[in-house]
Amino acid sequence: MLGIGAKAKVDSEGRRWPGPFGPYYLLELINSGGMADLWLATDANKQTCAIRCLRETSRFDFTTRRRFLRGCEILSHIHNHEFVIGYLGHGKIDGTHYLAMEYVEGSNLKMLMAQSDPTLEEIAGNLLIDAAQALEHVHESGYMHLDFKPENLVITRNGSVRLVDFDLALKRPEFAEKLGANPGTPAYMSPEQLLREPVDHRADIFAFGVTAYEFLTFRKPFPGENADEILSRHLDRSIDFVTPREVNPDLPLALERIVLKCLEREPDKRYPFMSVVVRDLQSVLYV
């Protein structure tokens, strides 16, 4: 057991061990990603929180560090929403960049879908609307998420949504513009992202459509092993594309229309704003 005031140890891969971390105490490693680790922790007042630590091995990966810090700053500006993970603070301790956040008990939507969790059917309507409202808030706050996917939607034990991970988020441009880099998860990226064409907030609307389709059918609308395969399915939808109701006939026709409008290849044919998606979802789902 590390003594009070001692520095937590770091292994050869840059992962910390449980123990003191500035005013926090790292209790248990919750999740380990490519560039950061997420810890269950307590703060100086013994209140439970989550601490995301940039790996020591990522400290000199300047692109990764820049994205981590940008995600912290953006979350600090937009966290005041019930469906966005709460922000508590960020900075550097013992040379490690960190983000302190609200801790919620739950699992991300990707894991729950993989487990075929029976509660998903019970909360389906609320989940879609809550996720849409979270994305609406991001856009109205002046940002694009650019990594919206089931893995970044945490579902709490009482069925509430928290949108997380703003490392790839950027300021929302007045007009679509080309991105300097093209990070993201190809399966959820819009055609214009994959083609490296100008992008605006409607790329997130497309990602919402992919996520909704997958959530409602348990399959991706544009499957592929790599970005090129996925893009070819975007460009020629006669290749194996099936509508949500062909997979799940129990879906309301109006709900399918919302999903398909989000998935339009041309941005101008999609919903113009997430607020309109929210309105239509609320109308169709009677929630």
pLDDT: is 61 or 94 the higher one?
Answer: 94
Q: What is the pLDDT of residue 9?
A: 57
- Separation between Cα atoms, residue 257 and residue 264, nearest integer Å: 11
Name the token pair of 229: 């395969």
In this prediction, residue 3 has a pLDDT band, given cuts at 50, 70 and 90, of: very low
Q: What is the pLDDT of residues 173-200, one digit of tens each?
A: 999 999 887 778 999 999 999 999 999 9
Q: What is the pLDDT of residues 28-54, one digit of tens each?
A: 999 887 789 999 999 999 999 999 999
Q: What is the pLDDT of residues 251-269, one digit of tens each?
A: 999 999 999 999 999 999 9
CB distance 208 to 153 below 8 Å: no
> CA geometry: angle at 30 spanning 18 and 10, to 5°?
35
Backbone angles phi and psi of 132, in degrees to 5: -65, -40
Q: What is the largest CA-CA distance in the chain?
A: 64
Domains in the chain, CATH or no CATH each: 19-101 (3.30.200.20), 106-285 (1.10.510.10)
pLDDT: is 229 or 138 the higher one?
Answer: 138
Any idea how long the chain is?
287
Name the token pair of 18: 């449980």
Whole-Å CA distances, 56 to 34, 35, 49, 100, 183:
12, 9, 21, 17, 22
CB distance 36 to 68 below 8 Å: yes
- Separation between Cα atoms, residue 38 and residue 60, nearest integer Å: 20
225 Rama class: left (phi>0) / alpha (psi -120 to 50) / beta: alpha
Rg of the chain over CA atoms, in angstroms? Answer: 20
- Using the predicted structure, report yes or no on whether residue 17 has a pLDDT greater than 90: no
In this prediction, residue 4 has a pLDDT band, given cuts at 50, 70 and 90, of: very low
